[in-house]
Amino acid sequence: MSKIKKYQHSDVPDLLCIGFLCHDLYEGKYLLGGTASYSGIMASHLGMRTAILTSVGSDFGFHNIFAAAGIEIVNKAATRTTVFENIYKNGNRTQYIHHRAETLYPEDLPVHWASVPIVKFCLIADEADFSFLQYFPNALVAATIQGWLRQWNEKGRISPKEMDWKQLRFVDIVFMSEDDIAGFESAIPQIAGLVKILVMTKGGAGAEVYYEGKRFEFPAFQTNEVDPTGAGDIFAVSFLVKYRESESIADAIAFAHAAASLIVEDYGIKIPDLKTINERYRIYRSRFLEGREIK
């Protein structure tokens, strides 16, 4: 295990993201990618002391972004940084993984970080061993599970695979998109029965929340969508931070929709200020949540 750099703090963080920081190959250039990237930057922006456990190579090109955000990164050194590429043709996406960094295990984490209060598994390429899920018994544990639902062939072409759903019994909140679970929709009741809260995002159609045997639907905050990249990751970490603060699913869903709606209005990782998020959060609550019977 090697550290890229210590940034502003080395004590126990408020929120820990576990997952690959990656390079997204686009028109011959590398862009910053990865659920951990968006989640970590957003969590830091929301005032959380944030850390990321990842695996990248010496070729990783975006250290400055995390340094500027005050995010501490603990790195498991890899030969190459993970690289994804999306190829679109006739409205369909084919996804490739060209390189993959090293799988993450509990022993890769600083021991004193086991007491972190919030953990988010930010998975893109099956990078966290399942043994990790039992490592934080006193934390609020959340997982974006798309990385556990991916496999790839010798050419790197990605296809869906089913995971061992029972592993999710150690997770409090699961986030997934309707695209992530496509083909495995029959597993939704099982997942909902294993975790405290299951949140399924549906892009512009909003989100579904499964809680205590019930399903709740919440519309998205309608806006002018320019670029949806990272919106699901911003939604998930915003939900998680607000839920930890308020213990209210209604508050969390409103705040998450507000944040995600602002992200899609521009290109790239342009995080909106908290004042603007809160203004839209209050509008969302008044429009969609008055009289709703949910915790």
Distance (Å, rounded) from C-alpha 147 to C-alpha 180?
9
Which run of H or of E encompasses 95? Answer: strand 92-99
Q: What is the pLDDT of residue 294?
A: 60
Angle at 134 between CA 151 and CA 256, to 5 degrees: 70
Q: What is the pLDDT of residue 230?
A: 78
Average pLDDT for consecutive 10-residue bins of the chain (295 residues)?
Answer: 44 96 94 95 95 98 95 97 90 90 97 95 97 95 97 97 96 96 96 98 92 94 72 94 95 94 72 88 88 60
Q: Domains plus CATH for the chain?
A: 1-171 (3.40.1190.20), 176-295 (3.40.1190.20)
Burial class of residue 104 in the structure, from the number of CB atoms within 10 Å of its CB (0-12 exposed, 13-18 middle, 19+ buried): buried
Q: DSSP letter string over 128-162?
A: B-GGGGGS-TTSEEEEEGGGGGEEE-TT-BEEE--
Q: What is the pLDDT of residue 289?
A: 84
Q: What is the pLDDT of residue 30?
A: 95
